[in-house]
Structure formats: structure tokens, C-alpha cells
Amino acid sequence: MAAVAVAGGRAYGRPPLFGAFSSATLILFTLAVLHALAALAAPVVQDTRSLKCRTCQLTVAHLDEALVPLLFDMLGKPTPPAYGAIDELVEAKVEKACLTSSIHLVAARRKVCAQLLEDHFDTIAAAFRAIADAHVNGDASDEPDAVTAVCGNSTRICEGKYADMEVSDVVKLEEQLALSSVSGAGNGAGEEDDEKRQFLSESKPGKKAQRTFGSARKLVASTFLDEVVVAEQRDAVVYFATPKATPRLHAATLANVHWLAEQTSSKGCLVGVLDVELNHVPPPYGTHLAAGASVQIYAAGRKRSPVVAFHHDVAHGDVGADVAPRRSDLLSILGRRAGRVDTQARANASAIRLTDAVRDGSAREL
């Protein structure tokens, strides 16, 4: 305690207010130092890939995620696929590879991707045919990795350690870059440093604005990772909206997403809306999106493998309510694919109530 001299009934020395102010200042200074030290200690994600290499890896990794399950499903049916069906499927998907949001929403990557398909379309298609052939032969160890085969071995677009990267390596690196971009950590010295640090995003909504979309939570690019991905043990249903491009479809879909949120939202299940015309989806969590409206389920424990519950390509124009995802379909998919048992139970119970209401005429299927 500071010494205080008393003379004539008046205290001299350090005033109490000064002492309190000094303590508060010390606390704030200490917190600032700790924050700075934490920032310095945060791991810096090093990425020195060229723009061409990164675009190649993102493009092929997206194709691997979207195309390989379709190939295996086709090959796993009792009846062999018709002659040419595999080639037709592969070529159709490769043609649209540049529509994934992590490519399409970044002008530099979009241009590089278009050139990549023009120069190496056959090489990319051949890599996925090889995966299909290895699957038919029943030896998973012989299945080539598409990213390594295309971006490393065949085209030599990626060099050094990046030439040997596999699909899983690309997904992991992009995830680290996305998290570091949002948290403010460094990104290395690649050609796209400015793009890596800048995501188009609306302002973070306040508590009142979070319910702008009714019962569904408003999401923006800067909150997407924390709300949807980092919350690993929470199911999330996200409607990626295109209100300007498809206003009629948006109105119908939004109404059903509101309703779904009212039925299933809880601490363990988030239902949200993100306007993709005003927000970029941080890669790799947008790599499964083409240019269009979509409803995706990010199941607890399986955030890297979102389930597409609905998708409409904006290239097909605006459509009415008859094309919007139906309430019963959303409940059915959530009831089967949610990661939490309590989410599944709520979705299934709501589906039963909806069926009963439609049957007795008190509600109609929308």
C-alpha cells in the first residue's frame, strides 16, 4: 500500500483513483502482451504453391470428392453400366469442374482453370477412368490418387514437395489456410497471398440481426467456419442462397428452411442461411458447391463430407416453388444423415407429424 502523509486533516500521496487506474492499465497491458505473444506463437501456414499449381489441385480435389462416389455407385450396381456410361459421366463432370465456388468466385483461378481444362482435359478424364478401372479390378491399393496423377506426374504443373501431394493433403492444407485466414495467422508467401487473406463477407451480424431470416441463423463468410465447421459436435444445415439470381426459388426455399429450423434447431443442430452472392465460402468447405443455390448438411463428426440435400444451378434460370426442396425431403435426409442421435430423432418425429397433418388435411406438403 502506498504511504500517505496526513497534514491538517488532508491526505497527501498517491490518490486512490490513480492507484485504481494504474492497476487497470497494468491488467490491460498484460492482456495485450499475452495476446501479442499468442499471435506470435500461432503456427504460420506455409504455402508457396504457384497459382497454377494450387488451382490444379483444387480443381482435381473437387472432382475427386464429387465424381468418385458417383463412379463407385455406378460400378457397384448388379447390372454393369452401359457401354460408354463411365466416359460420359467423367467427361460431364470434368467439363463443369471450374464451377466449384473455390475456383469460380476467384477471377484469377477461374482463368487458370479454364486453361487447365483446355490443355489437359483428356489427362484429367484419364485419371478418373483409371480410378474406376482399379475399382473394378478390386484392388484398392492400385487406385491412383487423382491430384498426384494429374498435377504432379502427368502435367508437372506442381513441383517439389507439392508434386507428391494427394487429395487428402490438399484438403488438409486448404483447411489450415482457411482457418488461418479467418484467425489472422500468416499464409506463407505464395502468389495468391492477397486473395488468401481476403474473403468477400457481409458484416458479422449482431445478436438481433442473427435472426434476420426467421428461425434460421444468418451466416456470413467470416462466421461460417466457427458456426458450422469448428463446432465439430454440432449438426449444421446450411442453405446457400442466391436471392438475386433466383428470387422465386429463393422465396420458396427460404420458407421451407425457416420451417425446418423451427422443427429441428437446438444447441446440437444449427440451421443457417448464407447468401453466396455476398459471401465467399472458405475453401475447402465450398469446393463441393457449383454456381447455384444449395442446401448442405454438415453432420457432426463428418464436417469434411457435407451431404447435398438440394442443388439448383443458376445456369438453369429462376424457377418456382415446385423445384424448391420439399419439407419432407429435408426432414428425411436430416433424419438419416445427421451425426447426432437427438437431431435424427427430432427430424424423424417432425416428419411423422408432417405426414399426419398432410393426411388429415390440416397441412399441405410444401
Report the b/e string of 297-326 with b at 16+ CB within 10 A: bbbbeebeebbebbebebeeebeeeebbbb
Question: Is residue 283 over pLDDT 70?
Answer: no
Cβ 272 vs Cβ 237: under 8 Å = yes
Q: Provide mean pLDDT across the span 52-56.
A: 96
Q: Which pLDDT score, from 0 to 100, does residue 366 have?
A: 58
Question: Is residue 100 over pLDDT 90?
Answer: no
Question: What cell was used for 113?
Answer: 482453370
pLDDT band (50, 70, 90) for residue 306: confident
Q: Provide mean pLDDT across the span 354-366.
A: 79
pLDDT band (50, 70, 90) for residue 54: very high
DSSP code of residue 48: -
Question: Is residue 289 over pLDDT 60?
Answer: no
Q: pLDDT: is 159 or 229 the higher one?
A: 159
Q: Which domains does the chain have, with CATH numbers?
A: 51-171 (no CATH), 209-359 (3.40.30.10)
Question: Is residue 19 over pLDDT 50?
Answer: no
Q: State pTM to two decimals.
A: 0.54
What average pLDDT is seen over the chain? 79
pLDDT band (50, 70, 90) for residue 268: very high
pLDDT band (50, 70, 90) for residue 49: very high
pLDDT band (50, 70, 90) for residue 112: very high
Beta bridge partner(s), residue 294:
240, 311
Q: Provide mean pLDDT across the span 30-53.
A: 64
The helix/strand/coil state of 201 is coil
pLDDT band (50, 70, 90) for residue 307: confident
Q: Where are the alpha helices (DSSP H) in 198-274?
A: 221-224, 247-264
Of 8-22, 77-91, 100-114, 237-251, least confident by mean pLDDT is: 8-22
Q: Provide mean pLDDT across the span 123-136.
A: 92
Question: What cell was used for 15?
Answer: 490518490
* All residues at 6 or more sequence positions from 216 whose CB lies less than 8 Å from its CB, including other chains: 239, 254, 257, 258, 260, 261, 265, 271, 272, 273
